[in-house]
Amino acid sequence: ESFEELHQEIVATDAVLEKMERMLGTFQSDLSTISDEIKMLQGDSLQMNMKLRNRRALQSLMSEYVSSVVVSPQLVRQICEEEINEEYL
């Protein structure tokens, strides 16, 4: 009788351990998937940071260029309102 109870406990324990093993396997698989997604997001983040740096560099260059080619309001007024003569040319 005692051996039968021991055998039943061992069988029950084996069943619990098998269930835990399946759960841990699933958990490990989920962690692997999450790890892959984190790596993908890190790659995306690096790409976005590079694009942002490039855009900021371009913005700086374009700002300098635009500042150098802007016509002042005074010059616009002179062009529109001044008399066209030898001095004007």
Reported pTM: 0.58
pLDDT at 88: 65
Tokens standing for residue 66: 């635009």
What CA–CA distances, in Å, run from 28 to 4, 23, 37, 38, 40? 36, 9, 14, 15, 18
Is 89 a residue whose pLDDT tops 70? no
Read off the amino acid at residue 21. E
List, for residues 1-26, the tens digit of each pLDDT value: 799 999 999 999 999 999 999 999 99
Token readout for 21 is 């093993």
